[in-house]
């Protein structure tokens, strides 16, 4: 149709229903309009398209069609202009080569602004030219993350066969196929090689799929990078410049909401504050305030490099201009990508793979010995009459028997059942909110010896909570510890305001009523007003979460626990606020008591922030119209009062002396000159409402105690509400109390107010929304002067409390022989205190426990051999748990490598940030947090959806149970195979006819062994699984004791099967001597002329008694084989019931605890009964059994339970003695 339209438009119109004569038809105009639109738009499309359009021929055809139909003169689009060639002169190239190296640029936080401009050859006013950009890109490349060469699919397929057990299966499949070719007349001969090949192919396909989709950390990292940025080039700002085109030395502009496109050294802040969210890079949830001041420490951690904005982080406040100092793989995110790629190469082989390789080697030796021994024992029978003198025929016969034994001994379904066990474990772990990304990691947890855990969010709740509140003591009271203040314990964990209360003393459980405490009222007002965070409830889980800074969320919860003062409670009773009960206090303070007017943002120098507020005169008129049930309306201040500052005006005071503006304020007392002991203080107002509405404006302040206490001149009396003088003695008491809280450790925030504000601030607070703010509010250097002459109302001690079940989980790890290494970026005091509280370090040791705490930044500083030995000794198993504080991200990777190389530890590493990705990749098992970054999740082996350390311990328990089930399955299947081998090999060595035919053996392997072995994967966890030490990586799946145990079990199975077979022949008059010489049976020979077996009448004709006794499908042989096969089936099913636990007795762990195992035994038993009592038995050469026959079968099958119980008891005794010896050895090493 398209060609017809282009060459014969009239015929085309006919074909679509528009005749030439009916040219006015609607179809013609529809088609013609489409043609014209496409053809006419083509020149414009070509003009702005970045790459030249290649589909030009079809558009030329459309243009030709339009010209013919309408007589238009549409012209072809002009060819795109060639790109100009950039010529780099020698000076520009030399300048690009002189730029700092990647290692030098990493120390850009130590450069001042002028040094940064000089080193980076930057042009702040003009930006780089196109020539300079081209030269620098030639050296540094694009601003993109680069991935190493990916492994091809064929290489992945080859890796799937780099496994000893798989290689054995390949050889067995080849041998089975060779025998199948030799026995081309037997259709069942191809079953084994076909089944093995299907298993190998499916296993390889699953492995390739998992490896191809295992992780995509590069894609997750690229999501952190922006596509465009704002950059100055050739004197102009380009707001849509592709971020990939940035080069070192570019000048970029960053604003709120931007993703930082590269590592940028900040030169100028365009707002009073500039902050970034570095949670993606560091894992810390708090935003980081930035400045332009250089850092003195060249090795400062990322969080301390306040003058650098890192690629992938997000600007949360302010505007700034900076210079690009690192791009692409030289950025901190690029280093993470390089670390992930390096860790992939250095990741150790999983313990499961190591054990399976060792098991395969054991199996190879056993099978080889059995095959060679069987063939060697058959050599004397090469001259039997049945082979008619052909040695080659005899050799082929016994070679086939030997290879068949090897096939019978191989657990062909092992890879599939291992995958099944891991998948079942994955499903069970998902119910515990643990998502497994790589199946082998499930088993790896079972032999974990060390768990390297983060503190924040894993061992703690990651929900800052006020745990203690220091309030002023009334002048009339005396307390035991401090004369001037009282400590009140705040209970509860997390952001749920209803969880916990305020208690009068740390050792008192009585709930304190603080509604009559004037200091607590002011503390509640400060907590509500100096707060931009808000609480909300998750709709799915019902849990309380926060939006905003965690410390401010903790203060919001404290405000709710304080409760409403009487005057607000009266208003609430008269007209309730339309909000939930859990946020009524903060809402009442911010929407009924006060209205926020201005905010003095936090500053690193003064270490405080404050809010200027005015009292609301009428709670009815001033209730905000947007106040409702949504979480956003509870604590968000009215945007009308957040006025943008106008152009700078002439200051009313001397800018060089901001404090001169407040000369009327009472001077701060000094320890040398304390204020008068009996100052004149005003009487308190007559009632609560007048008390809070009396000042026309108030300033509410919060900040670091050392800064706020220094600027306090008074303290609020809790009984009278007056601001009594802050004496030097009382100041010293408060400072000592704050130091004590910090040593616990708690993060302290001092809360204060100022009532006697200057007239200019009072006038501004009560002015209209368009009034210009005074200079003291617009100039950040004057904010500290505004926050002087304060009245102290309390100090809040905030902490990130431990998870309620973390201590118990760590105790379970200790009983399980797992060491804990706590890795945190906090201070030594905080790390040691939380470690002692959780039981990681022994709290009974006191200060000596700190000897197990090491600073991460200095632990690896010394590269000498003596220091390396000291590091290895510090982390040896006998030394116990350890704590690392002030740890950089790269230190985590070094710790994991040291544990693996020095002590062969199997490590589990937790992490959530981008910088944790290399360590997660290198650890034996990386555990990412569900709230962490996508990069960390992609590099991990499993993800904790609830971020709970107890989930790791539950996963360890599950991993051990999975390994136990796999080991039980292997042992059960091998014992069955050993029994079959013993049966076939014993018959060959004794020289008797085949006890079981190949088809009967196939029935046992596929029907009888398969379902019970699969059901073993559902075994319940061992009740003492976490009381055992971790398994050694070098410990084989089949230990010497287990090999001995199941060899004895297999020997009994072979003996019982052959014994039943021989007894049935003897019962029919065929003695063992006759059976042993069956191959030479010839009725014409004298010894066999009198051979008359006792056989019931049969309708099947046989030529002689030899055929009647020994021929396939003869009644005598069929009955004997049926008894032998049924005995073997019953023994294996009884063994499966005993395999519900590898070591425990059936009296302790009964088989009915595994319902799947009961079904897995009942199913093959039912199938076997159906085989015996249906016409199918003739296909297998079997007969129906009588009751006497069943009595014989049970007499030989039931003793297997007794044999298994005796061997289990012996194994437990050996295990207990070995563990006792290990404990003594460990204690002596510890001493």
Q: What is the C-alpha to C-alpha distance for residues 703 and 748, in angstroms, rounded to an integer?
A: 8
Q: For residues 792 and 709, is the Cβ–Cβ distance under 8 A?
A: yes
Q: What distance lies between CA 507 and its chain's CA centroid?
A: 39
Both tokens of residue 114? 């002028």
Q: Is 454 a catalytic residue?
A: yes
Using DSSP's 3-state secondary structure scheme, residue 1006 falls into helix
Bridge pairing between strands 882-885 and 819-823: parallel
Distance of CA 852 to CAs 417, 819, 846, 1132, Å?
Answer: 44, 13, 12, 53
- The one catalytic residue in 258, 454, 891, 941 is 454
Phi, psi of 1077 (to 5 degrees): -115, 30
Closest C-alpha to 486, from 476, 501, 471: 471
Using DSSP's 3-state secondary structure scheme, residue 755 falls into coil
Q: What is the C-alpha to C-alpha distance for residues 893 and 288, in angstroms, rounded to an integer?
A: 25
Q: For residues 153 and 208, is the Cβ–Cβ distance under 8 A?
A: yes
**Bridge partner list, 19:** none
CB within 8 A of 2, min separation 6: which ones?
A: 58, 61
Q: What is the C-alpha to C-alpha distance for residues 106 and 98, in angstroms, rounded to an integer?
A: 16
Q: For residues 947 and 968, is the Cβ–Cβ distance under 8 A?
A: no
Both tokens of residue 47? 């003009």
DSSP 249-264: T-EEEE-TTPBP-SEE
Torsion, CA 173, CA 175, CA 181, CA 186, rounded to 10: -80
Helices 1115-1138, 1199-1230: crossing angle, 10 deg rounding: 30
Distance of CA 737 to CAs 527, 559, 770, 1080, 1108, Å?
Answer: 20, 22, 45, 103, 103
Both tokens of residue 471? 């309030």
Q: What is the C-alpha to C-alpha distance for residues 421 and 419, in angstroms, rounded to an integer?
A: 6
**Vertex 365, ends 362 and 366: CA angle to 5°?**
85
Query: Residue 1054 carries which DSSP code?
Result: H
Q: What is the C-alpha to C-alpha distance for residues 976 and 1051, in angstroms, rounded to an integer?
A: 10
Q: What is the C-alpha to C-alpha distance for residues 1142 and 1135, in angstroms, rounded to an integer?
A: 11
Bridge pairing between strands 608-615 and 594-603: antiparallel
Per-residue HEC secondary structure of 522-569 comes to: HHHHHHHHCCCCEEEECCCCCCEEEECCHHHHHHHHHHHHHCCCHHHH
Q: Which active-site residues does the annotation give?
A: 454
């Amino acid at each position: 149709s398209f060609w017809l339209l282009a060459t014969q438009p009239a015929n085309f119109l006919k074909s679509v229903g528009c005749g030439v004569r009916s040219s006015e038809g609607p179809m013609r105009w529809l088609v013609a309009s489409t043609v014209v639109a496409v053809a006419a738009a083509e020149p414009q499309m070509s003009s702005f398209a970045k790459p030249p359009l290649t589909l030009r021929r079809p558009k030329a055809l459309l243009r030709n069609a339009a010209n013919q139909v309408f007589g238009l003169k549409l012209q072809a689009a002009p060819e795109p202009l060639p790109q100009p060639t950039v010529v780099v002169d020698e000076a520009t190239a030399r300048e690009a080569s002189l730029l700092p190296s990647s290692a030098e640029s990493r120390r850009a936080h130590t450069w001042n602004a002028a040094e940064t401009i000089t080193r980076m050859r930057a042009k702040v006013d003009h930006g780089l030219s196109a020539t300079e950009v081209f030269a620098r890109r030639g050296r540094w490349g694009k601003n993109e993350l680069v991935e190493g060469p990916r492994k091809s699919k064929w290489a992945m397929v080859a890796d799937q066969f780099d496994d000893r057990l798989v290689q054995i299966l390949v050889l067995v499949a080849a041998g089975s196929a060779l025998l199948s070719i030799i026995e081309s007349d037997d259709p069942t001969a191809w079953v084994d090689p076909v089944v093995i090949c299907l298993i190998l192919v499916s296993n390889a396909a699953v492995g390739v799929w998992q490896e191809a989709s295992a992780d995509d950390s590069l894609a997750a990292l690229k999501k952190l990078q922006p596509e465009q940025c704002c950059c100055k080039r050739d004197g102009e700002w380009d707001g849509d410049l592709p971020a990939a085109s940035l080069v070192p030395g570019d000048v970029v502009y960053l604003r709120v909401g931007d993703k930082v496109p590269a590592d940028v050294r900040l030169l100028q802040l365009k707002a009073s504050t500039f902050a970034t969210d570095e949670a993606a890079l560091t894992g810390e949830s708090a935003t980081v305030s930035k400045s332009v001041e250089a850092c003195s420490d060249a090795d400062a951690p990322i969080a301390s490099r306040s003058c650098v904005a890192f690629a992938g982080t997000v600007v949360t406040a302010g505007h700034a201009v900076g210079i690009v100092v690192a791009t692409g793989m030289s950025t901190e995110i690029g280093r993470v990508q390089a670390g992930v790629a390096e860790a992939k190469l250095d990741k150790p082989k999983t313990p499961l793979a190591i054990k399976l390789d060792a098991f395969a080697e054991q199996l190879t030796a056993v099978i080889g010995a059995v095959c060679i021994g069987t063939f060697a024992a058959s050599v004397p029978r090469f001259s039997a009459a049945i082979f008619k003198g052909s040695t080659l025929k005899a050799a082929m016969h016994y070679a086939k028997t030997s290879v068949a034994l090897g096939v019978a001994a191989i657990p062909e379904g092992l890879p599939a059942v291992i995958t099944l066990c891991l998948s079942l474990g994955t499903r069970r772990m998902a119910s515990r909110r643990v998502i497994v990304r790589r199946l082998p990691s499930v088993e790896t947890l079972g032999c974990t010896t060390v768990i390297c855990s983060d503190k924040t969010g894993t061992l703690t709740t990651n929900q800052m909570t006020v745990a203690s509140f220091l309030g002023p003591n009334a002048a009339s009271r005396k307390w035991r510890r401090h004369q001037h203040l009282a400590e009140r314990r705040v209970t509860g964990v997390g952001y749920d305001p209803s969880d916990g209360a305020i208690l009068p003393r740390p050792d008192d459980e009585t709930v304190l009523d603080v509604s009559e405490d004037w200091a607590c009222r002011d503390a509640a007002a400060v907590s509500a007003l100096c707060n931009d965070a808000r609480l909300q409830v998750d709709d799915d889980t019902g849990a309380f979460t926060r939006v905003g800074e965690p410390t401010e969320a903790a203060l919001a919860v404290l405000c709710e626990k304080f409760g409403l003062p009487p005057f607000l409670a009266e208003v609430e009773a008269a007209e309730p606020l339309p909000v939930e009960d859990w946020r009524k206090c903060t809402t009442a303070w911010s929407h009924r008591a006060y209205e926020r007017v201005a905010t003095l943002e936090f500053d690193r120098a003064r270490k405080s922030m404050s809010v200027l507020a005015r009292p609301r005169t009428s709670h009815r008129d001033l209730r905000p119209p947007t106040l409702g049930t949504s979480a956003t309306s509870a604590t968000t201040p009215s945007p009308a009062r957040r006025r943008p500052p106008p152009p700078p005006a002439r200051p009313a005071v001397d800018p060089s002396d901001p404090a001169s503006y407040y000369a009327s304020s009472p001077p701060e007392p000094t320890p040398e000159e304390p204020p008068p002991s009996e100052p004149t203080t005003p009487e308190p107002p007559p009632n609560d409402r007048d008390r809070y509405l009396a000042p026309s404006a108030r300033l509410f302040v919060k900040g670091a105690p050392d800064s706020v206490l220094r600027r306090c001149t008074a303290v609020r009396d809790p009984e009278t509400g007056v601001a009594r003088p802050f004496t030097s003695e009382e100041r010293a008491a408060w400072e000592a109390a704050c130091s004590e809280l910090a040593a616990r450790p708690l993060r302290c925030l001092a809360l204060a107010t100022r009532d006697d504000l200057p007239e200019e601030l009072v006038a501004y607070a009560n002015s209209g929304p368009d009034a210009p703010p005074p200079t003291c509010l617009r100039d950040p250097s004057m904010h500290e002067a505004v926050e002087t002459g304060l009245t102290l109302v309390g100090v809040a001690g905030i902490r990130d409390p431990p998870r309620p079940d973390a201590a118990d989980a760590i105790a379970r790890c200790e009983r399980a022989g797992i060491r804990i290494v706590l890795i945190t970026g906090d201070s030594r005091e905080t790390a040691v205190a939380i470690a002692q509280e959780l039981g990681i370090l022994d709290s009974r040791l006191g200060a000596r426990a700190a000897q197990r705490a090491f600073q991460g930044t200095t632990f690896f500083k010394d590269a000498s051999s003596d220091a390396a030995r000291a590091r290895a000794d510090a982390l040896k198993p006998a030394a116990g748990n350890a704590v690392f504080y002030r740890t950089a991200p790269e230190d985590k990777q070094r710790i994991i490598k040291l544990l693996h190389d020095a002590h062969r530890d199997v490590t589990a590493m937790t992490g959530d940030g981008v910088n944790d990705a290399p360590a997660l990749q290198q650890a034996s098992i990386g555990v990412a947090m569900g709230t962490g970054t996508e990069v960390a999740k992609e590099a991990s082996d499993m993800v904790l959806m609830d971020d709970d350390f107890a989930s790791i311990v539950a996963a360890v328990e599950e991993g051990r149970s999975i390994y136990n089930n796999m080991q039980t399955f292997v042992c059960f299947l091998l014992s069955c195979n050993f029994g079959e081998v013993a049966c076939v090999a014993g018959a060959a060595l004794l020289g008797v006819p085949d006890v079981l035919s190949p088809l009967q053996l196939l029935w046992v392997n596929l029907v009888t062994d398969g379902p019970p072995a699969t059901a073993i994967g559902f075994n319940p966890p061992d009740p003492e699984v976490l009381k055992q030490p971790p398994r050694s990586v070098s410990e084989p799946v089949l230990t010497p004791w287990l090999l001995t145990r199941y060899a004895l079990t297999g020997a009994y199975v072979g003996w019982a099967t052959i014994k039943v077979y021989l007894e049935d022949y003897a019962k029919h008059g065929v003695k063992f001597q006759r059976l042993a010489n069956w191959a030479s049976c010839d009725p014409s020979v004298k010894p066999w002329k009198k051979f008359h077996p006792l056989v019931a009448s049969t309708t099947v004709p046989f030529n002689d008694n030899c055929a009647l006794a020994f021929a396939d499908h003869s009644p005598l042989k069929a009955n004997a084989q049926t008894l032998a096969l049924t005995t073997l089936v019953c023994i294996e099913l009884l063994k499966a019931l005993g395999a519900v636990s590898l070591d425990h007795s059936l009296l302790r762990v009964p088989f009915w605890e595994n319902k799947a195992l009961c079904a897995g035994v009942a199913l093959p038993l039912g199938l076997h009964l159906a085989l015996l009592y249906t016409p199918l038995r003739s296909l297998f050469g079997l007969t129906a059994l009588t009751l006497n026959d069943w009595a014989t079968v049970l007499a030989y099958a039931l003793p297997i339970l007794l044999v298994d119980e005796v061997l289990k008891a012996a194994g437990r005794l050996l295990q207990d003695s070995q563990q006792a010896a290990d404990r003594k050895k460990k204690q002596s090493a510890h001493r």
